[in-house]
Amino acid sequence: MAARRGKTLGAAAVHGVLIAYTVVAIFPILIVLVNSVKTRRAIFGDPLAPPTPETFSLEGFATVLARSSFEIYFANSLIVTVAALFLVLLFGAMAAWALSEYRFPGNSLMAIYLAIGIMIPIRLGTIGILELASALDLVNTRTILVLVYTAQGLPLAVFLLSEFMRQLPRELKDAARCDGVSEYRIFFSIVLPLTRPILATVGIFTMIPIWNDLWFPLILAQADQVRTVTLGIQQFIGQYVTDWNAVIASLTLAILPVLALYLLFSRQLIRGLTSGAVK
């Protein structure tokens, strides 16, 4: 009885910590969503209060749509994020398959090199990236952002995917080889379908930093036609006056795709995290 009670108290303590962390993590998002549909006076008067018929207002969204090219910024963010995510998952899965399945000279060194890529932020090479982009005439293009974000996401993707692929049953691959199936067919028809949970996990971990990034768009893509959402929001923040209704409305519109992605792939994310992907 005492052991069962101790186990119950331990589980309750763990759930209490998780609930507290969830509240802390979700609270800022809720504040943004609530204040996006309130008047400026109501935001500064009581930012924690929910909107009422007297304080409800969509003036922030109207300002964003009228005074900025938000649809262009949103499309740029979507194009850059989807393209970089596709390249990270494709090349990351291919590299992880090579590292986990085959033994060749330099295999361990390559794994160490990728681990170092996780530990060293890519922003340390900003000056070199800017010089290279300028030499290739890629400044103020979406292409340079896709390339930078692909390089940024590959180390973590390869690390997680290679650890996951090492746990796949070797009998399946050997049976396919005995039937004369090519290595490419094994990879695309057998390995990739089995790695869908970890692919979803890597996709979410890769997508959020890309979508929220301000550093590289500010340095590499300042032109209005290639601005991303995070950079476009900055036009409402002035040195002396800031249109907080527009800023909060822009943040709300920027948050929605991330929330939708999480809701769509939350089950795959949990499966990927609980199936040994981060051992």
pLDDT tens string 123-146: 888 999 999 999 999 999 999 999
Range of the domain at 230: 69-274
Answer yes or no: is 249 within a domain: yes
pLDDT in tens, 32-73: 888 888 888 888 888 888 888 888 888 888 888 888 788 888
Number of domains in the chain: 1
Answer yes or no: is 180 within a domain: yes
pLDDT in tens, 173-185: 888 888 888 888 8
Q: CA–CA separation, 61 vs 57, rounded Å? A: 9
User: What is the domain-level CATH number for residue 147?
Assistant: 1.10.3720.10
With H, G, I as helix, E, B as strand and everything else as coil, classify residue 171. helix
| Structure confidence at residue 3 as a pLDDT band (50, 70, 90) | low
Answer yes or no: is 123 within a domain: yes
Answer yes or no: is 29 within a domain: no
From 56, 50, 74, 53, select the one nearest 64 (Cα to Cα). Answer: 74
- Considering the entire predicted model, what is its pTM? 0.81
Task: Please say if the pLDDT value at position 238 is more than 80.
Answer: no
Answer yes or no: is 5 within a domain: no
Answer yes or no: is 58 within a domain: no
Answer yes or no: is 131 within a domain: yes
Long-range Cβ contact pairs of 215-218 (< 8 A, separation 24 or more):
215/123, 215/126, 216/126, 216/129, 216/145, 216/148, 216/149, 217/145
Answer yes or no: is 188 within a domain: yes
